[in-house]
């Protein structure tokens, strides 16, 4: 399946899109060894310690990059998400020739200024890291939001934090 913007891409960009779409997993050789780093991200986020959280995110990103064998990206943690009429910015991946790629993350929501939920925050980190991996690991000349991209993001999340907890069903009186 392709997303709506696919039809507006050039033939060359469509080939890159389809290549990205066909890759569904980023396999970590030893995801269990990263569990303490994931726990540190969770703890630092809950404690709302920005400096500790930035360091924990950097160590986790480094661990992922090291396991896959790609160069590292720099993590920058900011406070409140930027907001505009299009919504809130959760994360940002920036890569410029000759410079270390940079991932910016925000730990608080724009409107309520609440700390982002752990799983949402971790997914955002992994989402931005997937853009990095598209270039560094998969050697794609461009990174697109494809169904395959989102599956790769989910594959990393599930390896590091397990599958999502089942949703509770709320029933009315007498089980209705």
Which tens digit of pLDDT belongs to each residue from 98-149? 899 999 998 888 777 889 999 999 999 999 999 999 999 999 999 999 999 9
Is pLDDT at 175 greater than 70 in this prediction?
A: no
Contact (Cβ atoms closer than 8 angstroms) between residue 157 and residue 163? no
137's CB contacts (< 8 A; 6+ apart) are: 26, 68, 69, 70
Across all residues in the chain, what is the average pLDDT? Answer: 92
Q: Can you tell me whether residue 52 is helix, strand or coil?
A: helix
- pLDDT-derived band at 2, boundaries 50, 70, 90: confident
- H or E element at residue 72: none
With respect to residue 21, please indicate whether it lies within any of the assigned structural domains.
Answer: yes
Contact (Cβ atoms closer than 8 angstroms) between residue 153 and residue 123? yes
With respect to residue 170, please indicate whether it lies within any of the assigned structural domains.
Answer: no
Structural domain of 51: 4-71+117-164
With respect to residue 126, please indicate whether it lies within any of the assigned structural domains.
Answer: yes
Q: What is the pTM of this model?
A: 0.89
140's CB contacts (< 8 A; 6+ apart) are: 16, 19, 20, 134
Q: What are 51's two structure tokens?
A: 């400096």
With respect to residue 89, please indicate whether it lies within any of the assigned structural domains.
Answer: no
**Across residues 14-30, what is the average pLDDT?**
98
């Amino acid at each position: 399946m392709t997303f709506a913007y696919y039809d507006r891409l050039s033939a060359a960009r469509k080939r890159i899109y389809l290549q990205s779409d066909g890759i569904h997993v980023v396999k970590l050789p030893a995801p269990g060894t990263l569990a303490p780093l994931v726990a540190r991200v969770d703890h630092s986020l809950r404690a709302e310690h920005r400096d500790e959280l930035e360091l924990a995110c950097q160590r986790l990103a480094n661990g992922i990059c090291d396991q896959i064998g790609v160069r590292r990206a720099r993590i920058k943690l900011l406070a409140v998400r930027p907001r505009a009429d299009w919504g809130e910015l959760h994360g940002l991946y920036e890569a410029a020739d000759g410079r270390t790629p940079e991932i910016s993350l925000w730990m608080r929501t724009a409107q309520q200024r609440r700390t982002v939920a752990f799983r949402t925050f971790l997914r955002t980190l992994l989402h931005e890291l997937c853009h990095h991996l598209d270039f560094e690991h998969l050697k794609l000349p461009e990174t697109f939001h494809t169904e395959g991209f989102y599956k790769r993001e989910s594959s990393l999340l599930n390896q590091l934090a397990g599958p999502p907890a089942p949703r509770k069903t709320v029933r009315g009186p007498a089980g209705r």
